[in-house]
Structure 1
Amino acid sequence: MRKIVLCFGFAFTLISCGSALQPVNESNVPPTPPAVPKTPKPDPKVDQVTMVLPDIKKMTSVQKTVEFLASDELQGRDTGSLGIEIAAQFIETRFKNVGVQPYFETYRNNFDAKGKPAFNIVGKVEGNDPKLKNEIIIIGAHYDHIGKGRPVGDDTIANGANDNAAGTTAVLALADYFAKAKSNKRTIIFTLYSAEEKGLLGSKHLAKSFKKKNITPYVMFNIEMIGVPMVGKDHLVYISGYDLSNMPAKFNEYAGEKVIGFLPKAKEFNLFRRSDNYPFYQEFGIPAHTISSFDFTNFDHYHGVGDEADKMDFSFMETVIQKIIPGLERMANTPSQEIKMNEIKN
């Protein structure tokens, strides 16, 4: 178990995946969206705490980021916990240091998570083209996890390194890149969701927040569980909802190689509906997909206490991040919107 020493002092109010995987029949008809929950008032009983983060400038590597987010001190990043507050402050500091601006008045997008105050972290790198900057690309991942898992010996912390410190780390790395490169004509919004593990609550809330503001994104690109390589594949990651849009083909064209492929298990288990891409498809009908390298054979610690940083293949993660940058960069710069939903044949 990786430990990182943290120091605490009094200052800020602590504000405060998905279900088990079962195979289901593929369907492209979205269910009726649930009612928008009301944002709860702050709980006066919650301890007021903040933390003195480690030197963030020394914690930007893929390995150090995963090790921090998946450390025992964060206690599995359960929604509403001190651990997820620490993770949020880390993400906010990373955004601020590199020049990623808050999308809203602050980085936090507050919502109710089944009675617990929760928040997404949302930043932006504005596009540099006067017209195309109004066409938004969303890059996201969930940063929460389940907190505790079934004990193994005296270990009860479900650290969530692969699920989904890995995806969160990739989003932070991509935010670092685009904030420094300033190469994107379209605006890119970087989104880290809470309460994914409680039913995609964070991404549902953010999608509805955009809907209320009459914001229709161009595409949504979600990253989930990319900590270990797939077995025997000719591509680095697969994409959920592979046949629903032309994103896989266009992305590989943009990248100049086969980065994204198809995984039959993803369709069998309908992963398209089981991650934070789905609420954006529900609300807007746009190309909204999740990439992952979890292929059901290469990782035995899903929602378990063994999902720790020392199980991650950091070299592989770095390769994935580097290989997806050209695809995303081209996506952010094409003169017209080339990525489109496919026609559904009955």
Structure 2
Amino acid sequence: MNLKRIAGFAFGLLLVFPSVEAQKIKEKTVKKHLYTLASDEMEGRKTGTPGIEKAAKYIEGEFKKIGLKTYEDLPNYRQTFTFTNRRTGEKITGSNIIGVLEGKSKKDEYVIISAHYDHLGMKKEGEGDLIFNGANDDASGVTGVLALAEYYAKRGDNERSIVFIAFTAEEMGLVGSKHFGKGIDASKFIAGINLEMMGKEPNTGPKTAWLTGFERSDFGKIVQKNLKGTGYKLYPDPYPQFGLFFRSDNASLARLGVPSHTFSTTPLDKDGDYYHRVTDEAETLDMKVLTETIRAVAKGTESIIMGKDTPSRVVIEEKKK
């Protein structure tokens, strides 16, 4: 038996894959979550509709199967609240879906893994496809939340507590994440890992993703360090003109000082035929890209969840030119 050859082969595996452990996140499971959440049955998942209620029940069911605990004093996985739609003046009731995986040695320090499960609902009239399925935006992110929840629950070795959240009403102005942020002690929240539109290969090429607000903390540098040698790379947000750091749920926590950033892969300059359109269907996404990205998030943020790295608090103020 050539031990050197075997050792070399094992090292080679580490160079090819984001993490041998992360390979337990299976494409088959990723596809099941994505296709369920983006199905016509969910009716576009608009907050306050029967469609999003179906999605909420699906996420709750998965949290229960995984064995997540409820958050603080909530009687179940729902953080329910009523708000006023700023565009219509309508009173709407929505629910963030929250599950907790308690940490070992640092259980009072929290890392959030989040995505928004709402989308735009359905067209009121017209012909043909009337459903905004929101596969990439953001069933892909919620799929990542569910896959990572199962992954870490099976590992059972997270030193910090992980709070898994499917936020509601992101499309109505980050309403769900703002509501969650009102009730927390931000000093206890070490990082926010937000997932948004992860189902397409970015302009930066295969096995890459980008991160919003890269320069606002050292969170991204920690992820880059953890991904070295894996064949997967993380880049700063290539679309500074869009102000994306403040347009997803990470912003609600970042404004409280939490180093909270959003992972994405979608080439926004090429996605005009899909963004907020009825064409954003599950079939348009690449399951390999989505699965690889979820695995890379697991590997890239591992040292934070394991309590080895603590990212610097986020900088909100715009830098002077």
- TM-score of the aligned structures, taking structure 2 as reference length: 0.82
Determine if the alignment matches structure 1 residue 116 to structure 2 residue 89: no
Q: Return the letter of the residue paired with 1:295.
A: P
Q: Could you tell me which residue of structure 2 aligns to residue 320 of structure 1?
A: 293
Contact 2:207 2:293 in 1 (8 A): no
Evaluate the alpha carbon distance shift between residue 203 and residue 99 of structure 1 in structure 2; reply closer, same or farther with a 3 A threshold: same
Q: What SS does structure 1 have at the residue aligned with 2:44?
A: coil
Determine if the alignment matches structure 1 residue 105 to structure 2 residue 75: yes
Q: Return the letter of the residue paired with 1:116.
A: I
Evaluate the alpha carbon distance shift between residue 85 and residue 260 of structure 1 in structure 2; reply closer, same or farther with a 3 A threshold: same
Q: Return the letter of the residue paired with 1:146.
A: L
Determine if the alignment matches structure 1 residue 293 to structure 2 residue 265: yes
CA distance in 1: counterparts of 2:36 and 2:308, whole angstroms: 39
Q: Could you tell me which residue of structure 1 aligns to residue 6 of structure 2?
A: none
Q: What SS does structure 2 have at the residue aligned with 1:134?
A: strand
Q: What SS does structure 1 have at the residue aligned with 2:280?
A: coil
Q: What SS does structure 1 have at the residue aligned with 2:120?
A: coil
Q: Could you tell me which residue of structure 1 aligns to residue 142 of structure 2?
A: 168
CA distance in 2: counterparts of 1:78 and 1:70, whole angstroms: 12
Q: Could you tell me which residue of structure 2 aligns to residue 157 of structure 1?
A: 131
Q: Find the partner of 2:236 among 255, 258, 262.
A: 262
Q: Could you tell me which residue of structure 2 aligns to residue 185 of structure 1?
A: 159
1:318 Cα deviation from its structure 2 partner: 0.7
Within 5 A, what are the aligned runs for 1:1-346? 61-103=29-71, 104-114=74-84, 115-129=91-105, 132-149=106-123, 153-211=127-185, 216-233=188-205, 236-256=208-228, 257=230, 258-265=232-239, 267-282=240-255, 284-299=256-271, 300-335=273-308, 337-341=310-314, 346=320
CA distance in 2: counterparts of 1:308 and 1:151, whole angstroms: 19
CA distance in 1: counterparts of 2:316 and 2:94, whole angstroms: 37
Per-residue displacement from partner, 1:32-62 (whole Å, max 9, x unpaired)? xxxxxxxxxxxxxxxxxxxxxxxxxxx9711
1:342 Cα deviation from its structure 2 partner: 5.9
Contact 2:47 2:168 in 1 (8 A): yes
Count the aligned residue pairs: 282
CA distance in 1: counterparts of 2:261 and 2:277, whole angstroms: 25
Contact 1:138 1:189 in 2 (8 A): yes
Structure 2: gaps of 5 or more residues: 1-26, 85-90
Structure 1: gaps of 5 or more residues: 1-58
CA distance in 1: counterparts of 2:285 and 2:126, whole angstroms: 19
The farther-off stretch of 167-176 and 290-299 is: 290-299
CA distance in 1: counterparts of 2:199 and 2:316, whole angstroms: 33
1:74 Cα deviation from its structure 2 partner: 0.9
Per-residue displacement from partner, 1:221-266 (whole Å, max 9, x unpaired)? 100000111124376211111110111111111233553202331x
The farther-off stretch of 290-299 and 86-95 is: 290-299
Q: What SS does structure 1 have at the residue aligned with 2:104?
A: coil
Q: What SS does structure 2 have at the residue aligned with 1:61?
A: helix
CA distance in 2: counterparts of 1:113 and 1:206, whole angstroms: 13
CA distance in 1: counterparts of 2:149 and 2:163, whole angstroms: 9
Q: What SS does structure 2 have at the residue aligned with 1:135?
A: strand
Displacement over 6 Å in runs of 4+: none
CA distance in 2: counterparts of 1:311 and 1:152, whole angstroms: 22
Per-residue displacement from partner, 1:46-101 (whole Å, max 9, x unpaired)? xxxxxxxxxxxxx9711111111111111100001111111011001101101111
Q: Return the letter of the residue paired with 1:333.
A: M
CA distance in 1: counterparts of 2:187 and 2:316, whole angstroms: 23
CA distance in 2: counterparts of 1:320 and 1:197, whole angstroms: 23
User: Could you tell me the percent identity over the aligned residues?
Assistant: 37
- TM-score of the aligned structures, taking structure 1 as reference length: 0.77
Evaluate the alpha carbon distance shift between residue 152 and residue 261 of structure 1 in structure 2; reply closer, same or farther with a 3 A threshold: farther
Per-residue displacement from partner, 1:267-320 (whole Å, max 9, x unpaired)? 2111011000001111x2121111111221342211101011110100111111
CA distance in 2: counterparts of 1:223 and 1:173, whole angstroms: 12
Contact 2:191 2:311 in 1 (8 A): no
Q: What SS does structure 2 have at the residue aligned with 1:297?
A: helix
Q: From the two aligned structures, give the one with the greater helix fraction.
A: 2
